Chains A and B, each alone.
Chain A
Amino acid sequence: MKLLTFKGGVHPPEKKELSKDSPLENFKIPEKVYLYLVQSAGAPPKLLVEKGQEVKTGQKIAETSSIISSNLHSPITGVVEDITKMFHPILGAPSDLLIIKRTDEKDEWDLLDSIDFEKADSKNLVERIKEAGIVGLGGAAFPTHVKLSPPKEIDTLIINGAECEPYLTVDHRLMLERTEDLITGIRIIMKILKVKRAIIGVETNKRDAIDTLNRFAGNGIEIAPLKTKYPQGAEKQLIKAILNREVPSGGLPMDVKVVVQNVGTAIAIKEAVVDGKPLIERGLTITGEGVKTPKNIVARIGTPIEELIEFAGGYNGTVEKVILGGPMMGIAVPNTSIPTMKGTSGIVVLTREVTGSLYTRNCIRCGRCIEACPMNLRPNVLYKLVKMKRYDDAVNEGLLDCIECGSCAYICPSKIDHVRHLKLGKKVYRALRRGK
């Protein structure tokens, strides 16, 4: 059988073997958590607590402030020790931070009521997801309640189990160990979207997950084995591979009647609806050649990276970079006091041997970036246009279609940072447009 896939892409060393066989472990409740107020895409939520106030685990501490925004809950039981500012690796600037300190050994939960989703209506379910502060756990951290209220008719739900980023294995473990919760989560989303069909897309490097899921398939839930190729888990590429539908340029999955949710998000939805649990912990992979014992863990949000690296046996070899997320799209952090966030799918510790030399040369027009681009763009041309500050020409060439997957820079023999320039070009173009 020909495996489902898309055109373009790259195939970096998978490195999943480092952690794929270690079952999910619960990380201890940290003594202190560091919570950025900005945990998701969109506007920062409005703070509901003040310094010195006692909070329970799961208590709402910040509330949505606009349509695209999400609630925030305390991950531990303790007191708000400080409200300050700290460098935010995603925003690239200092940002509001709450420090919550545990007062004693207690972990008192402030749970919501359980909802019987079979009987509940769509609106109440979405309201619960919003209340529980759920965001996309694949990495982009877009508020889930917004994504589940599409203004258009949807006919298919796609569950993203591709996990195409090298090194990361947490979604793999979730599919194996939390299969029933995942299926329940999918049923809830199907109910919300009123769709009859849900397809879980999984790359074939997770054969055991495909086999396990197949035992639960049926009643509208199907499993689609996908070719192992990066970025197979990018929304548009995933939809193209599974349904052969192309999201129009500038459009969203709902334009082709699809909603995509990550497996971790589906499980979080089940926990919010059935167990009444807000999003205060998540699964993540701590891996890379730079740690002694790579692991998959479930940890409270806001745990400093350093503690998680210690939990994975500490550093190993000459560590060059610590990455929040996967090595293709993740963000290198300046130091390990940075905490995990809702969108942190993993921490990858890379050694010098892996990152290699990045001596940049001129483009030799080899065309590999064009071949690799999953959006069929010409990254070499876009890069030149952005460097020449010809932003309007770059936009005509497709700058805004770039999904920032990094395949171009990965494959480039001249080690050109296409994607960095393209991201910058988008920012500058949008800023200029706003200025007009």
Chain B
Amino acid sequence: MMVRTFKTAAAPHIRHPDDTSKIMRDVLIALIPATIFSGFIFGWYAWILAIVGAFGGELIEYIIIRFFRKDKNFVPDGSASVTGLLLALNVSVKLPLWAFLVGLIFALVVGKHVYGGLGSNPFNPALVGRAFLMISFPVQMTTWVKPYWPKFWMSPWDMVTSATPLALLKEHGFSAASKVSTFDLFIGNVGGSVGEISALLLLIGFVYLLIKKRVTWHIPTSYIGTVLIISTIFWLVNPEKFGTPIFHILSGGLMLGALFMATDMVTSPVTPKGMLLFGAGCGAITMIIRYFGGYPEGVSFSILIMNAFVPLIDSLTKPHKFGEVKQNG
């Protein structure tokens, strides 16, 4: 009898084939349609931003981990690419590349690695980067260009600036904002941040993630649902001042935020109940900022604020342990 020796490791000895890098890869794939579309609306520079974001993010993270945290065994997981691409989709094409890179470094260093890297950061790193850019480069970040479908060869410096529909609503009321048709809002033929404009393509990307079971429906549904309820109430009160519900759902960063930013697993609650609460909070804060705040848009701040509540939501929505509920029937 020939005895053979084998590895011993703890059970379970089989694992689900999914891993973190596959999740990140699918998020990147889901964002491709909206990214490609942005170049046809805002010119080739939108694509440069996206490419620099995706590849630059990974490179910056590699440098941080390899040289500052001195981890030689690191295998890239793609999460820095997701952060980089999301940041690129969250800025205006008027933002110079160097400023974008500063924002990206800030996002990864201050938004992520000071906390210990992937999984430990309380705030969505891309939104931390965006908040930093909004404060540091307020003019470049809020100068929006007119859509130029399909002139991808145009450079951002030749483009005419224009206000976003939400800014028009804030300053001139709904009759000015409604010059942009609902159809244009839906397909994305409007001004705004690079990747936030096309509700249609963002939805397609999200459906891909749903089919691949990378995300659940809870956060986007409660987020958009809350926006729908609040905007309906205010629309009934004063349609000219507050605009229509469909306008609020399709404009600004709501789709990008609700589908891709609020759903970041690291910075959102872990249970379905918690996710619903979190989404509702995001929706309510977004509408408060849009109606009464200093900015015309409130998606990114609402998500950042709700990120801070995640530990609280997690402890409030802790699942009932099996066998804990009805001891005496």
Chain A residues with Cβ below 8 Å from B20 are 361, 364, 413-414
In the complex, which residue of chain B has the Cβ closest to the Cβ of A245? B329
Contact status B319-A410, CB under 8 Å: no
Chain A positions 407 through 418: 1 when the CB is less than 8 Å from some CB of chain B, otherwise 0: 001111111010
Task: Give Cα A142–Cα B57 distance, bound, in whole angstroms.
Answer: 55
Interface residues of B in 155-201 (CB under 8 A from A): none
Residues of A within 8 A of B267 (CB): 365
- Minimum CB–CB distance for B250 against chain A, Å: 29
The chain B residue with its CB closest to the CB of A256 is B329
User: How far, in angstroms, from A415 to B79 measured CA to CA in the complex?
Assistant: 16
**Whole-angstrom CA separation of A251 from B327 in the bound complex:** 10
CB contacts (< 8 Å) of B225 on chain A: these are: none
Interface check A378, CB cutoff 8 A? yes
Residue B271 lies at the interface, judged by CB distance under 8 Å to chain A = yes
Could you tell me the distance in whole angstroms from the C-beta of B27 to the nearest C-beta in chain A? 11
Indicate if B72 sits at the interface (CB-CB under 8 A).
Answer: no
Q: With an 8 A cutoff between CB atoms, is B151 at the interface? A: no
Residues of B within 8 A of A417 (CB): 10
Q: Decide if the interface of chain A is mainly helix, strand, loop or mixed.
A: loop
Q: Which of B41-49, B83-91, B96-104, B115-123 contacts A (4 or more CB under 8 A)?
A: B115-123
Known: A249-B322, A414-B20. A361 touches B7 (CB 8 A): no
B230 CB to closest chain A CB (Å) equals: 27
- A306 pairs with B11, CB closer than 8 A: no
Q: How far is the CB of A224 from chain B (nearest CB, A)?
A: 19
What's the Cα separation between A414 and B325 when bound, in Å? 31
Contact pick for A236, options B4, B7, B322, CB 8 Å? B322
Task: State in angstroms the CA–CA spacing of A260 and B69 once bound together.
Answer: 52
Pairwise interchain contact A327-B12, C-beta atoms closer than 8 A: yes
Contact of A378 with B7 at beta-carbon distance under 8 Å, contacts A358-B15, A359-B75, A362-B118 already known = no
Compute how far the CA of A414 lies from the CA of B119 in the bound complex, rounded to whole angstroms. 10
Q: Are A330 and B270 neighbours in the complex by a CB distance under 8 Å?
A: no
Q: B19 contacts A365, CB within 8 Å?
A: no
- What's the least CB distance linking A324 to chain B, in Å? 10
A366 pairs with B13, CB closer than 8 A:
no
Report chain B residues within 8 Å CB of A419: 10-12
**B237 on interface, CB distance cutoff 8 Å:** no
On whether the beta carbons of A166 and B14 are closer than 8 Å, the reply is yes
User: A320 to B14, Cβ gap below 8 A?
Assistant: no
**Known contacts being A365-B270, A376-B320, A401-B321, is A246 close to B326, with CB within 8 Å?**
yes
* Max chain A C-beta neighbours (<10 A), residue from B12, B14, B319, B323: B12
- Is A362 a contact of B19 with CB atoms below 8 Å? no
Interface string of A298-322 (1 = CB under 8 A from B): 0000001011001000010001111
Contact of A328 among B4, B14, B322 (CB under 8 A): B14
One of B7, B11, B319 near A330 (C-beta < 8 A): B11
Asked if A356 is at the interface of the complex by the 8 Å CB criterion, the answer is: yes
Are A364 and B265 in touch, CB under 8 angstroms? yes
Closest Cβ of chain A to B122, distance in Å, is 11
In the bound assembly, the distance between CA atoms of A251 and B322 in angstroms comes to: 11
A331 within 8 A of B: yes
Q: Are B4 and A306 in contact (CB under 8 A)?
A: yes
Interface residues of A in 346-365 (CB under 8 A from B): 348, 350, 354-356, 358-359, 361-365
Tell me, yes or no, whether A247 is within 8 Å of chain B by CB: yes
Given contacts A248-B323, A361-B77, A401-B322, contact A335 B6 (CB under 8 A): yes
Contact A367 B12 (CB under 8 A): no
Q: How far is the CB of B55 from chain A (nearest CB, A)?
A: 21
Instruction: Indicate which residue in A332, A363, A380, A423 contacts B6 across the interface (CB closer than 8 Å).
Output: A332
Point out the residue from B4, B10, B18, B322 that lies within 8 Å of A335, measured CB to CB.
B4
A398 and B19 within 8 A (CB): no
B266 within 8 A of A: yes
Interface residues of A in 87-109 (CB under 8 A from B): none
What is the bound-complex CA distance between A380 and B19, given in angstroms? 16
Which residue of B6, B9, B120, B321 is within 8 Å of A375 (Cβ)? Answer: B321
Pairwise interchain contact A236-B323, C-beta atoms closer than 8 A = yes
The answer to whether B15 touches A332 (Cβ under 8 A) is no
Cα(A85)–Cα(B218), bound, Å: 56
Contact: B15 with A415, CB < 8 Å? yes
**A321-B7, A335-B3, A365-B270 known; A376+B319 contact, CB < 8 A:** yes
What 0/1 pattern do residues 1 to 42 of B give for CB contact below 8 A with A? 111111111111111111110110000000000000000000
Chain B CB within 8 A of A254 CB: no
Q: Quick check: is A111 within 8 A (CB to CB) of the other chain?
A: no
Which residues on B sit within 8 Å (CB–CB) of A304? 1, 3
1/0 contact string of B144-158 vs chain A (CB within 8 Å): 000000000000000
Closest to B325 in A: A246
Taken together as a complex, chains A and B put the C-alpha atoms of A253 and B270 apart, in Å, by 31
Residues of A near B323 (CB, < 8 A) are 236, 246-251, 375, 401
B:91-138 near A, CB below 8 Å? 116-120
Which A residues are in CB contact (< 8 Å) with B265? 364-367
Minimal beta-carbon separation of A228 from chain B (angstroms): 16
Question: Residue of A at shortest CB range from B216?
Answer: A367
Which residues of B lie under 8 Å from residue A23 when comparing CB positions?
A: none
A-B contact pairs, 12 of them (CB 8 A): A249-B324, A321-B9, A328-B11, A328-B13, A328-B14, A329-B11, A332-B7, A359-B19, A364-B265, A365-B265, A401-B323, A409-B11
Q: A residues touching B (Cβ–Cβ < 8 Å)?
A: 10, 12-13, 166, 236, 240, 246-251, 304, 306-307, 310, 315, 319-323, 327-337, 348, 350, 354-356, 358-359, 361-367, 370, 374-378, 380, 398, 401, 406, 409-415, 417, 419-420, 423
A-B pairs with lowest CB-CB distance, top 5: A362-B119, A367-B270, A406-B12, A420-B10, A249-B323
